[in-house]
Structure 1
Amino acid sequence: KALPLTANGKVNRQMLPAPDASRPDLKQTYVAPRTPVEEKLANLWAEVLKVEQVGINDNFFELGGDSIISIQIVARAHQVGIELAPKQLFDNQTIAKLAAVANLSREVVTEQGIVTGSVFLTPIQHWFFEQNQPDSHHWNQAILLEVRQALDPALLQQVLQGLLEHHDALRLQFVKAESGWKQINADVKGIVPFQYLDLSVLSPDQQKAAIEEAATEVQGSLNLAEAPLMEVALFDLGDSQRLLIVIHHLAVDGVSWRILFEDLQTAYKQLSQGKAIALPPKTTSFKYWAEQLREYAQSEAVRQEQDYWLNQIRTSSQILSPSVLPVDYTGGDNTVASEKKVSVALNVEETQALLQEVPAAYRTQINDVLLTALAQSFARWTGERSLLVELEGHGREDIFNDVNLSRTVGWFTTHFPVLLNIGEASNPGEALKAVKEQLRRTPNQGIGHGVLFYLNENRELKEQLQALPQPEVKFNYLGQFDQVLSESSLFAPAKESCGSERSLRGSRNRLLVINGSIFSGQLRLDWNYSENIHRQSTIESLAQIFVEALRSLITHCQSPEAGGYTPSDFKKANVNQKDLDQLLTKINQKTSH
């Protein structure tokens, strides 16, 4: 059924049916699943999204879904015999529509045995080695966890060995040859380095210092030439434990951690009950993905993206002044050692509104809203209505029919430039619609930029892409972690430091890096900067302006007058915003008579 519209082509909220009182957070009346596939999908959504009941007409994004959660949905569906691609969730945002396109017999390439042998470098790995960091072995992702029920060190070691066998990327190793860096997937020969440290006799302050000291040592101890690129430490504090897991970034990313947390808990529970480790089936290997990307780089499909990325160069060069970002100290060294962080957050109620109420107004996803607030806050700081930003994506894009990466561990991240331009937008709604459309124009969530830059054999194209003005700001929304570290989980985030994930001798390649994530129901944004270049007060002020802009967007989207369509909502129509608004006004006038 079509949504009732106002004369301006916006959703007429007063004409919408009243929500069912038993489902106060959702605008749709509950409609129960009608088929076995719908029932399975509804149960999966409810489980992953932590919603009590999901009807077949409920919208994925209005339930709090995002691109990373879509990967988790795909993984769970795969386990119950339903083959989906994350893109299908974006194109079919209700259970009713998704069940209609779900494939029960999609042929996906998987290897359930041990994957070994030479592996092509992926674009993000090429990028890493291009940075030529002085201590490339010390560039990790790590987490320190509070353990809710005491772990048996012997069982834990068995679990780690099971993870090492099951997740091939944990056994990657890298060797520098004359022609450059080579990647090899090793066999299961080694063991995961593990240490158990009894700190129970120390005072709380001494324990905190001892954890940080040991963690700092572990962070710098990985060797790229020797698998596994992982080390674990269990700290006994007497009345509790802490678990440190350090993995080199070359082998892991944000989505991978979710898989590893789940498997860590599953395997430990199985062993503690006297059962053998039995993890869900593996999805497509990192090795096969790297091979497919290499072929894709020479394909017509990715070549068709050239004009889009080269046009970004021309547009960015025309609009932006040479250096947009103001600095407090000119000529300061942008080093890891000088990196500091300012954190800001929304409260639980604001975060819930951002996740579940805001998407309906303009059919947006969370990144659209966060990046609109980013563009608005930088416009106030710099006076420029455009911002060239480097976005990080999860990189597990649907570009191959025979690939499912939903339970594959590895570093799949994409980096790509986007020019955010809020132009003459006079209110939050106009700015949000403008940014939404700019993001929708990015082909395949930006994966082609790195593929063309690092894997395509056309040298002239690479030189042209290198001419792109470099973003000075990087933005990365890491998603929601409450589904992973829930109340029933074995673990919770610890408050102590896990040491420095990167060598202090290293350099930073962006002036500002903003990372967003949701823990304990709250959106938090960490603004990372160099104290050699910016004062803390400058970044605190900018971060606060961002939060104010975000709150204004949330309030606007909750207001009765908010709402409207944009061209990307009608992909086949090929219209611009002005024509669409006029068309919707005419349609609404006809239906109102």
Structure 2
Amino acid sequence: TRPDLEAAYVAPRTPEEQTLAQIWAEVLGLERVGVHDNFFELGGDSILSIQVIARANQAGLPITPKQIFQYPTVAGLARVAGQAPTAQAEQGVVTGPVPLTPIQHWFFEQHPDNPHHWNTSLFLEVRQPLKIALLEETLRRMLRHHDALRLRFHPSDDGWRQVNAEPDEDVPFSVVDLSQVGRRDLKATVEAIAAALQGSLNLSQGPLFRVAYLDLGPRRSDRLLFIFHHLVMDGVSWRIFTEDFMAVYQQLERGDPVQLPPKTTSFREWARRLSRYAQSPELRRELDYWLRLKDQEAPPLPVDYPDGTFTYGSTDSVIVSLSPSETQALLQEVPAACGTQINDLLLTALVRAFARWTGRRQLLLELEGHGREALFEGVDLSRTVGWFTTSFPVLLDLSDARGPEEELRAVQEQLRRVPHRGIGYGLLRYLCADEEVREQMKSLPKPEVNFNYLGRFGQATASEAEEDESIPDQGLLGRVRQAVVRRSGGPIRIAREFVGPEQSPEGTPGTRLNLVAIVTGGRFQLRAVYSKNLHKRRTIERLTHAFAEELKALIAYCLSSP
């Protein structure tokens, strides 16, 4: 339902307002949206704004990320829709060299030994058999439409190089006949196949994904496995790819002409623009902000096993959740009541929880963002597949704050001071031509804790929320993909087998503790990924439970404020 807002409900008055209000209601999971309701007070965020932009553009109302932040109401957006320069995206096949982006530079710096095995996956149970020929043709169409799926990476004397390859008639699709495997051996067999495919990608040979259809025979549901290298796929891209894949398959099955929405700005064009922007005086003005971090203390994170080594093979995770009612309050009541965005609340609770553990009311974090920032006019990334993530350090300091109100304001102000949501950090660190600048950025303190809020994905009934808990872990983005599949409907659900090791077990994560927050199935969840070589499980359980307690306390404070 629509939360209590200062603005009284006013129904849409024009076709444009009607269209936008309907899009907002669908994206935000609300029955109705008034034309003067604030997108962010309704629980919207920058990730959801990408969906709004994509759907509005398809409906003939082109809007930009900047406009959503400047005019965060239906009435305001309806007035300015179509006024900004529209993206003139290349609709043909994009090929040729592509500059590395900051997150790709980070990846190769972080994973020099086995960069081929660092994946993101989706494992589906298919309750009605799919047609093999249509699956193969669907993948062929996807390879042609989404250019980043044809990226290749080649080592050279001065680092890795990236190129967009031509489309190939051969697609990375295989069919495995498991119809003769007995019930007792089936789970182990399926998981062994998944594990083998996880280690099968090669950055230079490509393609950087694999799709396998596992035929389990009559009276058993088949399996469909997607594996992508993370260099070509992120959380936002999963939604785009999955929706397009299902749309193309269904069009082929009906015998309809295949039609996808027009392409948005290519990954190659985005990478080129970033490379030019990295040399600009505008970006150089951010340098003073980032270099202030060099004077900050960053004591090491407490560990239970000081001699331990963090590898992907040693990881485990702890998950804590809010109830559906607490989640609804967090998303739809707190933003309006406290004048904050969801991330402000999450990070304030996080600093308070860490203070219980470390005794310090300061926390140096590595924050991740979706990276599709409104830096350039005439650029639209709302339907572009690729790895756009940004990663940057931020010091959150509650030392001088007294009480929840001051703490929330302190975190809010500290986050708002981060220029352009942190995208400049990676540009200065990796793409700036001035070697002195790159070295200065490299010398900054390294956070040991990573936090990533992936946003809201879908609505769910209570039974679906309970079903979520029984589904095996499918990696950091598993809940995102699970929600995308639910939204698609149809006879498909997440498989219950383990998807296999998405990263090489010998690889080393960039931070010692990785925290991933998401709202899915109507519940907020925080997943803490840690190393059993560094921390005891009960240590991380205490931390995550402290976070949940602090978050609930902040929600209660906001709802009780006059």
The answer on 1:465 being equivalent to 2:441 is yes
AA matched with 1:377: A
Q: Which residue of 1 aligns with 2:495?
A: 494
Task: Note the alpha carbon deviations across 1:326-382, whole angstroms, 9 max, x for none.
Answer: 110112111111111111111211111111111112222221111111111001100
Q: Aligned to 2:275, which of 294, 299, 303?
A: 294
What are the equivalent positions in structure 2 for 1:295-334 lying under 5 Å apart? 295-314=276-295, 316-317=296-297, 320=298, 322-323=299-300, 325-334=301-310
Is 1:233 the counterpart of 2:212? The answer is yes
Match of 2:3 in 1: 25
TM-aligned CA deviation for residue 88 of structure 1: 2.2
**RMSD, matched Cα:** 1.7
Q: How does 1:151-166 map to 2 (within 5 A)?
A: 151-166=130-145
Contact 2:152 2:208 in 1 (8 A): yes
1:203-282 residue pairs with structure 2 within 5 A?
A: 206-237=185-216, 238-282=219-263
CA separation in 2, counterparts of 1:130 and 1:475?
A: 20
One-letter amino acid of the structure 1 residue matched with residue 451 of structure 2: F
Alignment of 1:404-423 (within 5 A): 404-423=380-399
**CA distance 1:542–1:429, shift in 2 (3 Å):** same
How do 1:89-128 residues align onto structure 2 when only pairs under 5 Å count?
A: 89-104=68-83, 106-128=85-107
Q: Which moved more, 1:43-52 or 1:453-462?
A: 43-52
Task: Verify: 1:476 aligned to 2:452, yes or no.
Answer: yes
CA distance in structure 1 between the aligned counterparts of 2:183 and 2:369, rounded to whole angstroms: 39
Gaps of 5+ in 1: 1-22, 562-593
Instruction: For 1:468 and 1:81, locate their aligned partners in 2 and report how far apart those are by CA, in whole Å.
Output: 45
User: Counterpart of 1:118 in 2: which secondary structure?
Assistant: strand
What is the DSSP-based 3-state SS (H/G/I as helix, E as strand, rest coil) of the residue aligned with 1:486?
helix
Output aligned runs, 1:406-555, within 5 Å: 406-482=382-458, 484-486=484-486, 488-490=488-490, 491-555=492-556
Give the partner amino acid of 2:555: I
Shift, 1:116, TM fit: 0.2
Structure 1 residue identity aligned to 2:458: D
SS in 1 for 2:312: coil
Residue type matched to 2:416 in 1?
R
* 1-structure distance, mates of 2:107, 2:336: 38
SS at match of 1:169: helix
Q: Following TM superposition, by how much is the alpha carbon of 1:50 offset from its aligned partner in structure 2, in angstroms?
A: 2.7
What is the percent sequence identity of the aligned residues? Answer: 53
CA contact (8 A) 1:191 1:228 kept: no
Q: Distance in 2 between matches of 1:508 and 1:426?
A: 35
User: Offset of 1:247 from its aligned partner?
Assistant: 0.5
Larger radius of gyration: 1
Shift of 1:244: 1.2
Of 180-189 and 100-109, deviating more is 100-109
CA contact (8 A) 1:334 1:509 kept: no
Contact 1:82–1:104 (Cα < 8 Å) also in 2: no
SS at match of 2:313: coil
Deviations 1:156-185 (A, max 9, x none): 111111111100000000111112111010
With the length of structure 2 as denominator, give the TM-score of the two structures: 0.91
What is the deviation of 1:204? 5.1
What runs of 5+ residues in structure 2 fail to find an aligned partner?
A: 460-483
- The offset of 1:47, in angstroms, is 2.4
Equivalences for 1:362-373 in 2 at 5 Å? 362-373=338-349
Letter in 1 for 2:279: Q
Does residue 195 (structure 1) correspond to residue 171 (structure 2)? The answer is no
Would you say the 8 A contact 1:134–1:505 is kept in 2? no
Instruction: Give the distance between the partners of 2:61 and 2:23, measured in 1 at CA.
Output: 11
CA deviation after TM superposition for structure 1 residue 418, in Å: 0.6
Distance verdict in 2 for CA 1:199–1:480, change over 3 Å: farther
* TM-fit CA distance, 1:43: 1.8
Q: Is the 8 A contact 2:42 2:335 kept in 1?
A: no
In the comparison of the two structures, how many residue pairs are matched?
534
